[in-house]
Amino acid sequence: MYVQQLYTGCLAQAAYYVESEGEAAIIDPLRDIQVYMDIAKARNAQIKYIFETHFHADFVSGHIDLLKKTGGKIVYGPQSNAGYDIITAKDGEEFKLGKCIIQVIHTPGHTIESSCFLLKDESGKINSVFSGDTLFVGEVGRVDLAASHYLSKEELASMLYDSLEKLKKLPDEVIVYPGHGAGSACGKNIGKESTTTIGAQKKNNYALQPMDRKMFVALMTDGLETPPQYFFTDAVINRKGYENSIDTLLVQNTHALDTSQFKKEMETGIVVIDTRNAEDFAKEHIPGTVNVGLGGQFAIWVGSLFGNVPFLLVCDEGKENEAVMRLARVGYDSVRGYLKGGVKTWKDAGNKTQNVETVEASEFMKHIGKDKVVDVRNEGETAKGMVKDAISIPLVSLQSRLNELDKNEHYYVHCAGGYRSMVAISLLQKDGFTKLTNVNGGTAAMQKAGIKLEVPAEA
């Protein structure tokens, strides 16, 4: 028996390769499927099954392409209704994989069809559970993403209560392989570890502590932040299916544009994403472009800030394929092209660039209490401490709250480390704000510099 976790940090997502006696199963694959086929080929194995824990909202799955390329059968749990051929398994149904068994455990709550998969070894002993978005490290799945006019988040939370009771009955030593890690919006506050055990979660996970159903439902439905825009689109794509493979998209969407072509596209009002790191963007960038660096949770932030619209890209040379790939992972398939030669080509053609003023935390300290400060961290972060008199506007809400800021004022903008603050400043510049300064390193650097963060009175 062989198990390999394939973790993708930019999506905080975990897929799994499971194998026994030359037969393999892939659990919750991403859209770029070559890695799974490469592992199977290297291990001289055949992909027999593609198990999906649910219809994912945060990424487009690679299940359909894997089916086409490997012939592996797609398996979902009960109450699944897809627009393509699947096996809709019964609760408790078992699938043989070599000398091992994968058993379906229906665990609705995050979604109606949500299921976990128990892996039983050659002796029939439960080795592990692939818990999808039902159980995470220190957290459980959100109950609002699949809520609709016929099923409320309260009803889903009640279902999750029963589902967790099922998992709590598993032996303490059973390994838990979750579908996501820290940073995913599929849970409120997921822990950093990539695996855990049932025993550890029964001890440390707040949602698995003894409580009645009413208390659990109240806990699950409180403090849910607005999910990224693309979540609901991706859930529909995963349910109905898709036509374009990742290979096709890489060819279609990595179209090099010269400066004149790029400018002509920009004049249509298209969203232009500069995927370089924040430091390079600060030095110089094309006016009107939005900085979302590939070095962070690129696709998540593009999907959180913009609808599924056409994009243009500005990239470091050789990074175009990566940018297109990562957008495609979240179902953003409409990239009109990228600027050939990047910002240098733009400048060489005689076009203007912008920059962003940046200060270190030690210098910023002198301005606290004198100048206006905008904190673009989320509410959970600001509740733990903020700069004195700072204005809290989470990045995901910034575009809808621009009217709260004055273009005549000078703002120091910060986040926790510097990634989100540069995204925020680029959005503000795009809207016509000119008096902006980025605080390099965010609150992490501030604390090292001795700046005290104050807990808001309402927290």
> Kindly report the CA angle at 385 between 380 and 386, in degrees rounded to 5?
105
Cα(first)–Cα(last) distance of the chain, in Å?
49
Q: Coil, strand, or helix at residue 116?
A: strand
Which regions of the chain are under pLDDT 70?
Answer: 149, 458-459
Q: Residues 228, 304: contact at Cβ < 8 Å?
A: yes
Count CB atoms within 10 A of the CB of residue 137. 22
What tokens were used for 84?
């393509």
Distances from the Cα of 316 to the Cαs of 59, 302, 342, 390, 412, in angstroms? Answer: 25, 18, 7, 34, 27
Q: Give pLDDT, residue 459.
A: 45
Count CB atoms within 10 A of the CB of residue 269. 9
pTM of the complete model beyond 0.75:
yes
- Reported residue count of the chain is 459
The dihedral formed by the CA atoms of 236, 241, 244 and 247, expressed in degrees to the nearest 10: 100
Q: What values do phi and psi take at 367, rounded to 5?
A: -100, -10
- Hey, which residues does 373 pair with through a beta bridge? 412
* C-alpha span between 151 and 14 (Å, rounded): 28
Q: Give pLDDT, residue 223.
A: 84
Q: Residue 235's closest CA among 178, 189, 186, 191? A: 186
Q: Give pLDDT, residue 431.
A: 97
Q: Coil, strand, or helix at residue 297?
A: coil
Half-sphere exposure of 401 (CA within 13 A, CB side): 13
Q: Give pLDDT, residue 458.
A: 59
Count CB atoms within 10 A of the CB of residue 61. 25
Q: Give pLDDT, residue 149.
A: 67
Q: Give pLDDT, residue 434.
A: 96
**Phi-psi category of 195—alpha, beta or left, where left has phi over 0 and alpha has psi -120 to 50?**
beta
Half-sphere exposure of 144 (CA within 13 A, CB side): 15
Q: Give pLDDT, residue 226.
A: 80
Q: Residue 75's closest CA among 34, 119, 117, 17? A: 117
Q: Coil, strand, or helix at residue 333?
A: coil
What tokens were used for 90?
């019964």
